[in-house]
Amino acid sequence: MAGLAELRTALYGVLSTIDDLSVYVTTPETNPNYPALLIQPATATFTSVLARQGGQDVYEFDLVILVSGADLEVAQEALDTYLALSGPNSVRQRINENPKLGLVGDLSRTTARIERMESYGITQSRDPEIRDFGAVLRLIVRTTG
């Protein structure tokens, strides 16, 4: 069964293949390099003690995609390429092509899929002089023992 550390590393491996996208497995202390994708654990449901034999853990991640909001029309066009079902920048396509996230052995009993999009629009960055434009994709990862 894959744990949080393995899943973050695996997600980085899959998503860092998108050209010119800065992928972060931890939230940066300063503004990220745009375009950016932040892998943030959101929730987890763990197997009970009685269900450990063949049980399942379910992790939910927020994939926060950010582009510069300096020009909102350009920002929206750029962001939409990352949210699209397919294409060279499509986050959804990368996950759909790699639902096991490249994990092998016992960890390969893992599947991932993007379930929904949330929070599309302008966001405030840490620097009040800088606007982000972004969206959050909710990724569900199921891993069994």
pLDDT over threshold 60, residue 51: no
Average pLDDT over residues 119-124: 83
pTM: 0.92
Q: Whole-angstrom Cα distance, residue 25 to residue 63?
A: 10
pLDDT at 48: 62
Q: What confidence category does residue 53 fall into, taking pLDDT thresholds of 50, 70 and 90?
A: low
DSSP-assigned beta bridge partners for residue 138: 62, 116
Boundaries of every domain in the chain: 4-144
Give the per-residue pLDDT at 125: 67
- Whether the pLDDT of residue 52 is over 90: the answer is no
**What topology does CATH give the domain 4-144?**
Alpha-Beta Plaits (3.30.70)
**pLDDT classification of 1: cutoffs 50, 70, 90:** confident
pLDDT above 90 coverage of the chain, percent:
70
pLDDT higher for 25 or 145? 25
Cα 17 to Cα 80: distance, rounded to the nearest angstrom: 18
- Give the whole-angstrom CA distance, residue 110 versus residue 145: 9
Q: Is the pLDDT of residue 111 over 90?
A: yes
Is the model more confident about 122 or about 114? 114
Residues 106-114 have a mean pLDDT of: 91
